[in-house]
């Protein structure tokens, strides 16, 4: 396993992080508790020491599952969670980063995780309804109280990131980034490189599309996130599948799977410190871990960058 120290911190983390959105169940099907716990234990045994979750994943389910396994390994793991997304009973959601919500949310997260501090506490999304000064003040108080060590953001644009950075020392930026989703290259990734912020890339396989296992005939139910993903629809899907054929051909040449090559491309990209990989079962995690401890040849890296550039 590859490790890196996040910039401006003492957090030494595995470059492949176990993401736990799938454990939450919402729009990912029914949660299999036994498989989820086995996946977390397998991650530990495989050298993964970095875990990313959120209080919104199953409204606490994912945090609870992590706590069951990781609490006894507290000194050996780095735990990141997020707050801000709140689900209503009708299935809709809103963003709340008010001081009252933050102070209540962090304590509930700690209770579910069975821990007394969080290594990296992240704002899940921007909250247009709360002044950034109030959010920042609440975060600083959590650091003072020893409940949180470092602060990160997720799904933030450059403007909102800059405003928060003026108040709080932001350590990490989490953003969707993969061969098919490269919007952050235009501004956010450059801003992080200039500012010395560590970038955590999530959705490295575009919800499974970059595994190469889907076709134009693939069908998803309405309780599956891929049902709503434009990358899986119409002309966009056809274009993506054409590009993925190039990925599959290169993977065969390298003796790797498409998933491993797609994740490796991220690990070899400038500014990407960590790739957050979701997995339901140990065997899926085995596939992801196969992206570590090797490098893409330079010509292969350039080839993929060009094929997926538009």
pLDDT averaged over every residue in the chain: 89
Catalytic residue list: 57
Whether residue 221 is predicted with pLDDT greater than 60 in this model: the reply is: no
* Whole-number Å distance between alpha carbons of 106 and 162: 23
Share of the chain above pLDDT 70, in %: 91
* Whole-number Å distance between alpha carbons of 192 and 141: 25
Residue 176 has phi, psi (to 5 degrees) of -70, 130
* Count, residues in the chain: 310
Whether residue 228 is predicted with pLDDT greater than 60 in this model: the reply is: no
* Whole-number Å distance between alpha carbons of 50 and 78: 5
Tokens linked to 77: 């793991």
Q: Which residues contact 10 (CB under 8 A, 6 or more apart)?
A: none
pLDDT tens figures, 64-92: 999 999 999 999 999 999 999 988 877 78
pLDDT for the residue numbered 308: 84
* Whole-number Å distance between alpha carbons of 278 and 288: 9
Residues 260/286, Cβ–Cβ less than 8 Å: no
Helix (H), strand (E) counts: the chain: 11, 12
- Return the number of other C-beta atoms located less than 10 Å from residue 144's C-beta: 9
């Amino acid at each position: 396993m590859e490790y890196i120290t996040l910039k401006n911190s003492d957090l030494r983390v595995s470059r492949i992080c176990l993401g736990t959105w799938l454990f939450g169940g919402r729009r990912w099907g029914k949660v299999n508790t036994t498989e989820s716990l086995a996946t977390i234990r397998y991650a530990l045994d495989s050298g993964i020491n970095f875990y990313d979750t959120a209080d919104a994943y199953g409204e606490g389910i994912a945090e609870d599952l992590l706590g069951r396994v990781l609490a006894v390994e507290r000194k050996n793991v780095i735990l990141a969670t997020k707050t801000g997304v709140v689900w209503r009973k009708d299935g809709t959601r809103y963003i709340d980063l008010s001081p009252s919500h933050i102070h209540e949310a962090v304590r509930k997260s700690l209770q579910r995780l069975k821990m007394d501090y969080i290594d990296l506490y992240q704002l899940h999304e921007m909250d247009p309804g709360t002044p950034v000064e109030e959010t920042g003040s609440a975060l600083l108080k959590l650091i003072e109280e020893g409940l949180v060590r470092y602060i990160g953001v997720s799904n933030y644009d450059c403007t909102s990131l800059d405003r928060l950075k003026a108040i709080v020392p932001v350590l990490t930026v989490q953003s969707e980034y993969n061969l098919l989703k490269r919007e952050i290259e235009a501004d956010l990734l450059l801003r992080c490189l200039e500012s010395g912020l560590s970038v955590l890339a999530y959705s490295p396989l575009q919800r499974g599309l970059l595994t190469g296992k889907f076709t134009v005939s693939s069908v998803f139910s309405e309780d599956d996130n891929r049902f709503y993903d434009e990358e899986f629809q119409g002309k966009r899907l056809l274009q993506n599948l054409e590009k993925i054929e190039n990925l599959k051909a290169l993977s065969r040449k390298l003796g790797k799977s498409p998933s491993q090559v797609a994740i490796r491309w991220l690990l070899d990209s400038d500014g990407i410190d960590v790739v957050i990989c979701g997995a339901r079962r140990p065997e899926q995690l085995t596939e992801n871990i196969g992206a570590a401890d090797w490098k893409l040849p330079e010509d292969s890296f350039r080839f993929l960058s060009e094929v997926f550039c538009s």
